[in-house]
A and B are shown apart, each in its own frame.
Chain A
Amino acid sequence: MREEKGGVLYDPYETEQQEWKKQQVKDGAKQLLTIISPIIILLLWEIFSRTGILDIRFFPPPSAIVSTFFDLAGSGQLWTHISVSLYRIAAGFLLGVIPGVTIGLLMGLYAPIRHFISPIVMAFMPIPTLALLPIIIILFGIGDFSKVVTIAGSVFFPVVINTVAGVLNIEKVYLDVAKNYGTSPKDFFFKIAFPGALPVMLEGIQMGQAIALLTIVAAEMMGATSGIGYLIWTSYKAFMLKEMFVGLVLISFFGFLFSLFLRGLQKKIVPWR
């Protein structure tokens, strides 16, 4: 199929192929940009601190941070900090998510429970759990458990609110279908309410995960003797800023890792979306 226009031959297939190739190049460029941006930041940082534009005492070059990381890792104390923090995050996360999902589902499914609990959730939500840390330490001591409780408290709210929203936002026609086909309360919960609420619920869990990381660092800064937050805080107080940066990078790394993991999980358990 060739068409002549102004003496030039046009092949529609070829035209489309050219377009497709252009699009491929564009897509590739976008991916490249995503990879390049953090590298540029790191490079600039490295150059600026080496040339003295950035004060090396406050902003040690990334290469120095990496070598400090290996020193700390070699001495073994880094692993203690990491494992302690990860344990606290995991325990606190679960202790926030499980009650959050349970109470959220109950509130979503039963209007009286929702109306009864809503004001309590609303009243407590704006209080940063970290502001309650002194009370939490009085109640639970300065051990692991007080950190776990602090994280759980912060994770609970986004999870409970998203779970309620998840249940309430299930399209009404699915509730009609369930009723019309004589669904029992148990089947209704497992076949309609829970799977229907799952996508929005998972968004809440994703938020909870981010909040857990924010909280752990702050919680370990006050009244802790180990953990990544403790590493950041004591390094800062001793003016060992390379060590402090190692701690910050670790938090960033784990945040990224957990996000990837939860996104993967989401794809697995909500394949119908």
Chain B
Amino acid sequence: MNNTVKISIDNLTKIFYKKNNSVTAFQNVSLQIEEGEFVCLVGPSGCGKTTLLRILAGLELPSSGTFTIDSDSNDRPLQSMVFQEKGVIPWLTVEENVAFGLKMRHLPKEFVRKQTDYYLEKVGLKKFSKLYPKELSGGMKQRISIARAFANDPEILLMDEPFAALDEQNKFILQDELLSIWSETKKTVFFITHSIDEALLLSDRIVLMSAHPGEIIKEIKVPIPRPRTMEQVRANAEMAEQFITIWNHLQQEVQRSRR
């Protein structure tokens, strides 16, 4: 892996200001993510993970601090986001949803069609391309979301617990599919999850956040060689230990935030 820094987050803080009751979502978050790296951000709920991602996605502004996403070409979008759920637009067909980013950039029709077809094929939605999302299951809808983000070919991908609402089996299948698409494109991915298993399976590096106000407190490398499977992660003794470490940390944080 080359060591160019792709995402550089520098001392980011976000405060939600309300009269009498301001909430610090997270503070002094600094993080560097390398080109092609898959980083999972794990933390107890309410630690500001989603807010951090939304700031990177340009949906919210930080209260202080800066971030940069390195870009080497002008015609490529900086980032595309895979939303939690319901991020699929119901009045567009599967195909139109996948093509959404490309169409919004008004790229040549032929290119849009090719790119869309390629990713529809990749996620196994080719034969559903003309249907409306209401006719598809939750797992299928998340496939649309993933295909839409990859088809847009951005500098980095942001994923906000994309599998959180899926049942266990669908989750495994989609995680596997995500890894296979990712291994082809080698995009830089910043992925939020509260599932330790998911983080161990997917990421090169896990970043742990504390309960609110969120701060980064620990980083863990995941040295398992790729391609990985859930069985490998489960069978790996070192990973089992890591799981416990992260688990304990989350427990402590949840306890602490209750006090």
Residues of A that sit less than 8 Å from B by CB: 171, 173-174, 176-184, 187, 191-192, 195-196, 198, 270-273
Q: List 12 A-B contacts (CB under 8 A).
A: A173-B87, A176-B54, A176-B57, A176-B59, A176-B87, A180-B58, A181-B80, A182-B104, A183-B104, A192-B89, A196-B91, A270-B91
- Give the interface centre of A181, A195, A198 by most chain B CB atoms within 10 Å: A181
CB-based nearest A residue for B81: A180
Bound state CA distance, A271 and B105, in angstroms?
Answer: 26
10 further A-B contacts with Cβ under 8 Å, apart from A177-B100, A271-B132, A273-B134, are A176-B59, A176-B81, A176-B87, A180-B57, A180-B58, A181-B148, A182-B77, A191-B100, A196-B91, A273-B90
**B228 at interface (Cβ–Cβ under 8 A)?**
no
Shortest 4 CB-CB contacts between residues of A and residues of B = A272-B132, A195-B91, A181-B101, A272-B91
Report yes or no: A187 in contact with B86, Cβ–Cβ below 8 A: no
> Which residues of B does A touch, CB under 8 Å?
54, 57-59, 77, 79-81, 83-84, 86-87, 89-92, 100-101, 103-105, 132-134, 148, 152
The reply to whether B83 and A176 form a contact with Cβ atoms under 8 Å apart is: yes
Residues in A neighbouring B81, C-beta threshold 8 A: 176-177, 180
Main secondary structure of the interface of A (DSSP, over half): helix
A-chain residues with CB within 8 Å of residue B100 when the two chains form the complex: 177, 181, 191
A116 vs chain B, min Cβ distance (A): 26
Contact of A180 with B80 in the complex, beta carbons under 8 Å: yes
Contact between B86 and A171, CB atoms less than 8 A apart? yes
* Chain A residues positioned under 8 Å from B80 (CB to CB): 180-181
Minimum distance in angstroms from B31 CB to a CB of chain A: 20
User: Cα distance A272–B91 when bound, in Å?
Assistant: 5
Q: Is the CB of B87 within 8 A of A181?
A: no
Chain A: minimal CB distance from B156 (Å): 12
| Residue pair A180, B89 in contact (C-beta under 8 Å) | no
Q: Which of B90, B91, B133 has the most CB of A within 10 A?
A: B91
* Residues on B with beta carbons closer than 8 Å to the beta carbon of A271: 132
CB distance from A212 to the nearest CB of B (A): 27
